[in-house]
A and B are shown apart, each in its own frame.
Chain A
Amino acid sequence: MIKLQNIEKYYAAKGLKSYILRHVSTTINQGEFVSIMGPSGAGKSTLLNILGMLEEPTYGTYEFMGEDVTSLNERKRIELYRNHIGFVFQAYHLIDEMTVAENIEAPLLYKKIGSAERRSRVADMLDRFNIVGKKDLFPNQLSGGQQQLVGIARALAAQPSIILADEPTGNLQSAQALQIMDLFKKLNEEENITVIQVTHSEVNAGYGSRILHLLDGVIKEDVNLSESLKP
């Protein structure tokens, strides 16, 4: 599904190149649950952003479902992105001026989905995450965990084939964090949605099937948990 070849990313400052990513090559298949780990500044978020098409690599090729992303124009890229990718942030990034239901509906509007279909999908999401009673509240009236639930619901509403999560539990208490991670695992297993998360937590990484360890922009280790756990 995702194929990275020799991805490099650097910023040139005063003639000096400061590398964020170097020679990153990997393949991620449909249905995997990948955790990207590493110390601060290792390039985790940048890698995630490149995967999510929010940033472009300086060098290298990125194939997403067989299409070379780096050579696509903006319109096509957004098209691809809209239909397949859902983002979840550490700071939730809900739109403050919109209610819970409206936040979930927002990506559907951009996908030009009819209003009946939109309503049913939003209702479906609210139902699934048990937040029907909160649908008319504004983000600042919710707890952090609830906000992140809305964030995930919003990402899922568009029915993506992959969810990219940037430290999704970083701002949450541990009980709420576990709940979120369970949810990701469930989505991964039951709906075959690919999940890629950036995390600092070994516990969170343990929910996944594979861990990419990044250090100074280089993949140091690629651990397949499902295999290594096998006796």
Chain B
Amino acid sequence: MFKLNLKIALRNLWKNKGYTLINIAGLSVGMASCILIFIFIRYQLSYDQHYAKRDRIYRVVSYWKYAAGEEFSKGVPMPLVPAMRNDFAMLDDVAALQRGGGVVKIKDQSGNVRLKTTETTYYVEPQFFKIFDYHWLQGDPQKDLLAPNSVALSEEMAVKFFGDWHKAVGQTFNYNNKTDLKVTAVFADVPENSSNPIKIAIAYSGYVNRNQKNWGSVTDNSECYILLKEGQNVADLEGPKAAFIKKYYVEPGTGKADHFFQPLADVHKDPHYGNFSRKTTAMKEIWGLAIIGIFLMLTACINFVNLATAQAVSRSKEVGVRKVMGSRRRELMLQFLTETITLTVLALLIACVITEATLPGLAGLFKEKLSFSLIQQPVILIFMICLVVFVGFLAGFYPAMVMSGLSPALAIKNKVNVGNTGGGALRKILVVVQFAITIILITGTLVVLKQMKFMREKPLGFNSSAIALPDMPGDSLSILKYDIVKTRILNIPGVLSASFCNSPPSSEDNTFTNFAYAGTKDADFQVNTKSADQDYFKTFGLQMIAGRALSKSDTIKEYVVNETLLKKLNIVHPQEAIGKMIRLGDHNTAPIVGVVRDFNNMTLRESISPILLFSRKSNSQTLAVKMDIRQIPEVMKNIEQIWNSYFPDNVYRSVFMDENINQYYESEQIMGTLFKVFASVIIFIAFIGLFGLISFVATQRTKEMAVRKVLGATTFELVKMLNTSFIMMVFIANLVAWPVAYIFISQWLSRYTYRIDLSIWPFVTAMLISMLVTLLTVSLRSYRAARTNPIDALKYE
């Protein structure tokens, strides 16, 4: 029976080639998008899931509540790790993980430097490897990673340094021009989908700051992981935690400090804290993608339902005959469902091809290593089977019910018309839903693109073009060379100005510190501190609105503040602040000499912080070089040459200011691209569906059109007649889509402190686009129908 059904199904699909093509095109594109989204989401959710004890692993993170806001850090104070080990009984293990980085030099047998490279390193306590089960190729971290200056390498690093990981153990290499580290163990590479991409694990006992006792100082580079005892609940840690905080946070700070235990599964998904891999995908984004995927599938299914119920008329005779022959309704439904599933499977095969072809694009967009391998990831196969069954039933069940329910008497006499197959109203509703989804996506795309353009073009309050930012080595010997390096670089033709600073005006790397203004009491908010020399203002084109810029000094001698700081202190006239004393941190008291006009110091998502600028040579390890835009390539070459001649033991690294800023908005760019792609896909699906439907309607109304033509209607009038109902539906779809789109969009825009005003234009444009394409699609097909000779239609009644 099934074989027969399948044969008939294939025959029917072949007979109605046009509809089959439309259905397969829509379904396969929709399915391919779904599979891509599934692969991506699965990959995102697979982060850090390859550890045996993953359900018991938590990261300790820090949180501060201030009078004027809050702050998050993935780091913990240095003394927290031993304290927790001591105070919490329900933990199996506590481990510190400290990120660092520096120059690695490998010498060959004759003592010459064979390889010089900058690498990110981690100081790791051996307990870390009890929590995370790494696969060890050689050595045992519990024994071999205890002594200071011992180091474990990943297979990749071992090969990079020594050619073959088998030869690595026992070798040494020089780190940061200071210590010689001895390789004692080698572990298998950490998978890409890992939040801790450790490649060089140095024994924590060699970390210089490990015994620091300050609970008030936290950097993002000091993480702490804990392993809960089996059978324990993380909620039970709350009690001991309260006591713990009370016990250790005795000094009154500006904010109220707290710690949270973040499940390992959230490390990749919580953008508040981030992680060492610098890759986070918020759960919100994952949901957003999933919803888009469901939308896409839904529009493709709607096409199917619409075309199938519309086709029911032409299948009515078959149904009648079958019923007269004694087929039961169930068997008929089974036959129609077989057809749907066959079609869906065909679409799936094409979807696989599309997926395979577009996956590299997606992987490139997200900079992730995604793969589409059914053998390695059987879950994808399961997903696809579910997709086929789901789509087959969602799309096939209703049409099957309608068609199998036709009355045989009417069906045989060919008295079935569009009216009594039902579905007319349903079809209209489905078309409206489909278009509403399309319009929401079009509107969203327009707004995302507009916001991106806005962010690209918004003046930041400083000049960021043609500025290179080479890093300077921070050791005391190198600092002595700073002045001469700057003089040499300024002498390069094409260099307009240069300034030593700790960070450019806008940066993702910000330090916040307590301060006191004109008194002894700390203000109830912190300031963003930037150390910069006297040329900073000229290099970045910052404008003073009162007083003067910083003068030359190697240590803190005076301060420049920004407008926001004055506003927060309720100082109306900038002049008032000049000459007032500021104490930064515990000491460093100096007068304010100038007020700088506000500039954006972070991404445009955040508002401008209160900023304090001062000179401190030892802090200023970045050189900002403003160049003549026409001579950038030569100047860059010269800078590198000079740099290398002064710092031969280090590795030159430089970025452009503009690129830095563009990187802030990487996620927006990805989002923009995704929106563009998916909006096009959905427009494609919706409109081929529309084309199918109008083809059908045109066929159905051939007789009516012929009669009208005989009565004197022109082709134009007939095209207009067919268009009206569709345009009406699309218009209603617009009305449905607008409020929904408005809610989504305004929610998305609210993430940005600096954002476009939501005008009516994206909505109007989306309406025009949808109407225009509808008009085009319908006219294209109905023109052909209206042009046919009425005689052909009326001859054989």
Contacts and interface: CB of A to CB of B under 8 A. Distances in A.
A87 B717 contact: no
B291 interface: no
A185 interface: no
Interface string A75-96: 1001001100001011101111
Contacts of A82: 712
Interface stretch (B200-208, B614-622, B688-696, B788-796): B788-796
Given A54-B791, A55-B791, A107 B707 contact: no
Interface string A151-168: 000100010000000000
Contact of B712 (A45, A89, A107): A107
Given A54-B790, A55-B789, A93-B797, A78 B707 contact: no
Nearest to A45: B795
A54 B715 CA distance: 13
B410 to A, nearest CB: 13
Interface in B760-797: 789-791, 794-795, 797
Contacts of A74: 714-715
A93 B713 contact: no
Given A54-B789, A55-B789, A158 B712 contact: yes
A183 B704 CA distance: 26
Interface string B386-415: 000000000000000000000000000000
A178 interface: no
A97 interface: yes
A93 B791 contact: no
A111 to B, nearest CB: 7
A188 to B, nearest CB: 21
Contacts of A52: 710
B26 to A, nearest CB: 30
Given A54-B790, A110-B713, A91 B707 contact: no
- Size category, A interface: 20 to 34
Interface residues of B, number: 19
B717 A97 contact: no
A95 B707 CA distance: 7
B711 A154 contact: yes
B714 A89 contact: no
Contacts of A107: 711-712
A106 interface: yes
Contacts of A106: 708, 711
A95 B789 contact: no
A123 to B, nearest CB: 19
Contacts of A111: 712
A68 to B, nearest CB: 20
Nearest to B715: A74
B493 to A, nearest CB: 74
A176 interface: no
Specify which of B707, B711, B791 lies most central, judged by the most chain A CB atoms within 10 Å of its CB.
B711
Interface in A29-70: 45, 49, 52, 54-55
A93 B712 contact: no
B704 A95 contact: yes
Contacts of A49: 791
Contacts of B706: 93
A49 B790 CA distance: 10
Interface string A205-225: 000000000000000000000
Interface in A135-156: 154
A75 B712 CA distance: 11
Specify which of B703, B706, B791 lies most central, judged by the most chain A CB atoms within 10 Å of its CB.
B791
Specify which of A45, A91, A93, A111 lies most central, judged by the most chain B CB atoms within 10 Å of its CB.
A93
Given A54-B789, A93-B703, A110-B717, A78 B712 contact: yes
Nearest to A93: B707
Interface string B667-710: 00000000000000000000000000000000000011011101
Contact of B710 (A54, A75, A91): A54
A110 B790 contact: no
A110 B704 contact: no
19 contacts: A54-B790, A54-B791, A74-B715, A75-B714, A78-B712, A78-B714, A81-B712, A87-B710, A89-B797, A91-B794, A91-B797, A93-B703, A93-B706, A94-B707, A95-B704, A95-B708, A106-B708, A154-B711, A158-B711
- The 4 A-B pairs with the shortest beta carbon distances in the complex, nearest first, are A82-B712, A91-B797, A110-B712, A107-B711
